[in-house]
Structure 1
Amino acid sequence: MQPIRVLHIVTYMGRGGLETMLMNYYRHIDRTKVQFDFLVHRDFEADYDAEILSLGGKIHHVSRLVPWSKSYQNELRAFFKEHPEYRIVHVHQDCLSSVALKVAKECGVPVRIAHSHSSSADKNLKYWIKRYYMKKISKYATDLFACGKKAGDWMFGGEKYQIVRNAIDAKRYTYSMATAEKVRTSLNLHDELVVGHVGRFNPPKNHTFLIDIFYEIQKINPSARLLLVGDGDGKKEIQEKARELGIADYIIFAGVRTDVEEQMQAMDVFVFPSLYEGLPVTMVEAQAAGLPCVISDHVPEECIITNHLVTVQKLTDSPKIWAEHILERAKSPRISHYDDIKAHGYDIEEAAKWLQNYYIAHSGE
């Protein structure tokens, strides 16, 4: 018997939060029963593409998403007509998911899942366009998923939805002093305080404010280092700001990593000053690694799995106040929190079984 093939519709499979979440599930489902394929909107090879192909997945390419474009919609129609094997589409395009869902419905795809990964959108010129298309999602979707309550409430406006945890392989993140020393040595770090962050360099992650915070930390602890894992369009701007403040030599831009769990071992405290989030995978990872965390009050409280590890700080507070709290939290000891992660449903073993069974139950096979 051939596996059920589920089509995930994404921008591209880089090492972002939702993409990492998808790969966590993909690695742990029974691929003899359910197989993931991907419809992507970029023509370059992304970070996870090679692994997807190695796991038996297929990657299909279409043009960039322009929601009002007739030619884009026609391209989607042609795709679905050429691929009638896809009876389940799972769309991860947030506000603009209604475009693919509408075409999928017109083409007779019976199961159409919209998945919310965020609790807001950038307040730029595209905001009201996104809001317009967002309101159409429930009209075309048969199933609604969200990474957390805040993300589901925001996107689906009162409609019933299912929370699908941003689960991780929690055992991989368990703190190891030996691993921490190995990674710190590779980064030329010794006894310095290491402030860490993982995330794309884009506006919601608020790297500009993070640099201001680290500037204040440097005043108090001149040997402190900032370890930034990730990449993105805003990286050059952040690097320039660090140079202007005279702290560039104390910041490690680690780039996109395949060993985030090891990079976290080298950190002493994790800082997450986001402007908005759905339910960030990196916060689950940081707590699994036993890292004390300081997060903004704009990050959903439901991501707090281990209360004594996390301090919530107001974004309206000054960088100096943030710096003082971070230095205090950095004194906390590192201990394992695997049991807490599992008890809250964030361990991938059980979560993947649930999603696999959901697809099978809804596939009609």
Structure 2
Amino acid sequence: TVRELWVIIKPSLSSGEKENLIREASKVSTTLVVEPEDIELTRARSDRMDASRGGEPDILIVETIEDLVRAKEDGRITCFTLTVKNRGDEEAITEASESSADYVMVRFKDWKVIPLENLIAKIHGKSKLLTVASDVEESRLALETLEIGTDGIVVDIPDIEEINRIYEVMRRVKTRPAEIEEAERIELKTAEVVELKPIGSGARVCIDTCDLMREGEGLLVGCQSSGLFLVEAEVHKTPFVAPRPFRVNAGPVALYTLTPGGKTKYLSELKAGDEVLIVDREGRSRTATICRVKIEWRPLLLIEADCDGRRIKTIVQNAETIRLMTEAGSRSVKELSKGDKVLVRLEEEGGRHFGTLVKEEKVIEV
């Protein structure tokens, strides 16, 4: 189920401000929360669903169990709303869900994380749980809690730029299995290894994330932003080193890596708190936060490969634990030979300006 974005149109706004917010918010939202007297204005300016405490809205907002039961008897789509201040409020929300509320909209007064975890555990799959948020950080927290998150965000500010930022976060957060499976996939191709050359020591980067990667997952890195190799996380048991599934031994500081939003960054730019893009061999991707970036001087190996008539390159630490992804699995760089096939991402055209693709720009990287 797609997560929903609701936007509150506050009655304190002027008529012009309401019209502008309705028009702009309708581009990214699923539902507009309005006062009864603004339902007509909303329907004249938007094709989105409307929710209100009175009148004849698409979704009727109620504040008591009694009103909820009556509305359901009348066949209405309902949203039960409550500010969570204590355990009693949690119990009231659970009761509303058990009384067949279609939606539950919650605000949190002081404690936020633990009450939200409790509610997700109790009502997920019964009613759609929405949390009121006023910025990106609150929204992300709600969407990622317990790896399930809320079913939507209700934005309580009239700032269209922040609303758009929250929308982008909602598009990028993929914590539920269905979201990961249905996400737009990165096209990966096979490239043939044509050159392997030890090149001495250099500053290589290990990216330690706040996540645990599985076999077949890693980061896309490369010497050229237009040609990135899929390097697997350290997920395999070896005779001498324990698995470190949070880590990708990515390569030298000057390599590019693909990050959320389709941008690239140099490995040297990454730091704790930044986001990277975890990719699997099927092209499925998800976002992870960096815990630590560790730079050490190690022997390096240059790898060159051909794909669609183009030569692309990457450099990795010359050690058994670094593995490049293949269609069937992965292979240690110490076992790679000329003619082997590895997975890469190839960009068809354009160059990068501070990490952003500019299709019309001509850039040569060798």
TM-score, normalised via structure 2 length: 0.27
Between Structure 1 and Structure 2, whose CA radius of gyration is higher?
Answer: 2
**Greater share of residues in strand:** 2
Q: Which has the higher helix share?
A: 1
